[in-house]
Amino acid sequence: MATITAALSVNSDITEYGMGINKTMTMTKAGTNTGLEQATGLVRKTLTSTNEVDLLTVGSGVVADVSSSATAAAKLYIKNVNSDSSEYFTVGFGKASTGSSKENFDIADSSERSVELGRLYSGDFLIIPWSAVATNYNDVFVKPSVATSMVIEYMVFYE
């Protein structure tokens, strides 16, 4: 049986004695010790405008096979692979775009039902749990800071 393991190593000299965090995590199916065994495959997209992009729309495209069960486990990996440290992707979650760009993700706006998670600058990445339930509120959005070829990569691990 295949398993997926993620590792994180953080070392810093920001304190007098230094700091080190080294953790590993076996990505498991919901409520079990059984490892996740499926992945969408690594996808790279080049974006050439500052428009918000529906990177992962639940139930279609690259995540069509991800379970729509509210109890299923999924982990999301996203990385900004660009080298310019001033350029970033804003990452957010919410309802599928209706064609108009959301300039600001606003959790307080109940009509938008979207929230900004944060920015990924050059080389930054994230691995987080993701609810891949087929609703309008679990889509993943990215918005490049500049309109020059910015590349983002992503992958979903799921049961």
Quick one: average pLDDT of 103-114?
Answer: 51
Question: Which of 129, 116, 57 has its CA nearest to residue 88?
Answer: 116
Q: Which amino acid is at 146?
A: V
Residue 122 has pLDDT above 90, yes or no: yes
Residue 13 vs residues 19, 39, 95, 125: alpha-carbon distances, Å: 6, 36, 41, 21
- The pLDDT of residue 54 is 81
Beta-sheet strands, E only, within 100-149: 114-121, 125-129, 139-144
User: In this structure, are residues 99 and 147 in contact, taking their beta carbons and an 8 Å threshold?
Assistant: no
Could you tell me what percent of the chain has a pLDDT over 90? 36
**Mean local confidence (pLDDT), 70-97:** 86
What's the CA gap between 38 and 60, in Å, rounded?
A: 17
From the list 71, 52, 80, the residue with the least C-alpha distance to 140 is: 52
Section 11-26 average pLDDT:
88
Predicted local confidence at residue 39, as pLDDT:
85
Q: Distance (Å, rounded) from C-alpha 35 to C-alpha 49?
A: 38
Predicted confidence (pLDDT) at residue 62 exceeds the cutoff of 70: no
Average pLDDT over residues 14-20: 82
111-127: buried (b, 16+ CB within 10 Å) or exposed (e) per residue? Answer: ebebebbeebeeebeeb
pLDDT of residue 108: 44
Domains annotated for the chain, with CATH where assigned, are 39-158 (2.60.120)
- Residue 64, CA distances (Å) to 25, 60, 156 in order: 25, 4, 11
